[in-house]
Every structure is written in C-alpha cells, then in structure tokens.
Structure 1
Amino acid sequence: MFNNIIKGIKSAGKGFNLTLKHFLAAKNSREVIGIQSDNYFKQQEGNVTIQYPHQKLPVPEVGRYQLFVEMEDCIVCDLCAKICPVNCIEIESIKATEAIGQTSDGTTKRLYAAKFDIDMAKCMYCGLCTTVCPTECITMTNQYDKSVEELDLLTYRFSPMSEAEAEEKRLELEKQQAEKLAAKQAATQKKQG
C-alpha cells in the first residue's frame, strides 16, 4: 500500500512538471507558416496554438472557401445550380427581349438574373459549380471565416435586380411574345385568306 502512494506521488509530480513546462513555454509561440514550407515539421519549440484573429494560418491557393459570383460575367446558364449536389444555388432567369451586353470574355448575355442566391449554410464546398461555369464568373475566394448571428445571413444574394425591375422585365417579355404571336396569327390569316 505504501508503494502505491509513492507511485501516485511520482506520477502526480511528472504530470505537474509537464504542466509547468508547457505553462512556461506558452509565452513562446511558433512562427505561423504554411505546411508547404520546408521548416514546417522542424518546429519543435513554442506553443502550437495560434492567437486567432491576430494570427491566421496561411490559406492554400487551391483551398475551397467562400463562393463569389461576378454578375457582370454571368450568362445565367443555370449550370452551377444544376450540378450542385445539395441544391444550395437558386437561380431565376428572365429572357431578355434583346441582347443585354457581353461578359468579359465576349459572350453575349441574353438572360437577366432575377434571382441568384447561394445558401452557404448548405454548401459542402465541393467546387463543382466553379468548374462547370462557362464564363468562370463563380469562384471560391480565400475567405473562410463567415461567422454570423442568424442562419439567414449565410444566404448571399448576388442578383442586382429588385423585384420591381424583375417584374418590369417579365412584362416586357410577355408583351414581345404577344406581339410575335399576333404577327404570326395575322400572317397565317393573310396566307389562308
């Protein structure tokens, strides 16, 4: 029984020494470097914990983080929404009555984006939407810290159109389609008569 008490005191002493060693080393922190550095695994001294947000780990170039859409380059093809495995992208398009401009790569835009929402709470950061985009307007940024208080704030709305503008574009399209139908019916009646 006396041997067990001595073993217990020795064990507690080793634990206390280890704790004291880490406590005193806490004032020395390691240099924050990326894993691709040759010195990454050679760092043996100092505290491992980084002092976030004052210190941040380097972000890899190929990392998958926050999605961003450059709407000036979007042709509203809907490919990103179709390929998304978790359906976090919602797009509503309105056909334009005429060409509405060009993207930076010269592609003609013929659709308005009445709605282009990405719910980052659902996003699994797979990157499929970025690879399928023909104009490369949807990209992943290097921002990874998007802490919000409300879950709804993680839904990003990229469409610049208001609901009133979208309704105006829908009415213009309906008017153009009605005029085309009337012209077609008039041509058919003229041909028959």
Structure 2
Amino acid sequence: MATNATVIKARLEIADMNRHYYQSHALTLARHPSENDQRLMVRLLAFALNASDDLTFSSSLSSEDEEPELSRRNLVGDIELWVAFGTPDEKWLRKACNRARQVQVFAYGENSVRVWWQQQERALARYRNLSVRALPDEALQQLAGMVERGMVLQFNISEQDVWVSSDKDSVGVHLEWLKEID
C-alpha cells in the first residue's frame, strides 16, 4: 500500500440478479491521499458489478499506468477484464483493449463525461471489447457520504440499477450505458 494511504476495510454483500451471483467479499483498500470519497465508491461499485473470486485491485490509482486498477486474470496471467475509472484518453484505452479480452470504463463527473464522450465517441466506437458506463453525480455524492474506514455495504443489482445500502443509508444508482460491447 502507498505511503500516507488510509486503509479502508469494506465488506461487500453482493446480490447480482443479472449474473445470479450472491457472495460476500472482504476487501482491504488503500485510499490514496489524492483519492476522494466519490472515487473510492466508484471503485467499490465497479467491484460489486464484476465481483468474482479472482477480481483484484492493483496497488496504483493512476489510469496512465501500464496495469489496470481493477482486473481479472485467467490462470496463465492474461487479462480477462480491465476496469478503468474516470475519462481516460483514446490512446490509453487502445492499449487496454489490445491487452485485455474485455475493458470497462466507469466514467463519472457528469459535465466532464459529456465533454469527454463527445470528443471520444467516434474513436472509441471501433473497440469491440470496450464498454463505457456513466455514473450520475447525485448518486455518487450520496454514496460518498457512506464512506467509513470500516464499512459493510450491501449491493443489490438488477438490470441497470444498483441499490447500495449500509446501516446508515441507502442509495439507488442508475447506470447509463454510453457504449456496450459489440
């Protein structure tokens, strides 16, 4: 874990009706000084939507690194799933799409996402293994209010809606597909 990082322990109780996946995951994350609560919750939301026993976070947060922040690898080490956050540029996504069987982007920051998508949509259309989801600011602000150093979160996933609950609050998140895998 990075120096000066805050250790976050999260237990995720996941009920994904889309994939018929019902499991608990105990995670220990490094919350880097540059990471805000919204971004941390985007990472946890992406984990819940793709949860499996072999899904792992990297030790780095930078989208410009050569390794994915969240990934699933097969038994020989090939990247099956590469998950990115924010609004990465096309050159970086090209590298990810060439290295992984499937790439997912969880874009957030509604105003910046709109501008980014207008600039990137045509270029990204050619990547058949890329999907892009936009997350609503209002829901992310509410999710950020749920962050604690030790937290238990329930994720109920059905179609494009995710209900995230803690002992203090419950937040509905509607995922908007900007691009689906062809």
TM-score computed with the length of structure 1 as normaliser: 0.23
Higher Cα radius of gyration: 1
Greater helix share, structure number: 1
Higher relative contact order at CA 8 Å, sep ≥6: structure 1 or structure 2? 2
Task: Looking at secondary structure, tell me which structure has more strand per residue.
Answer: 2
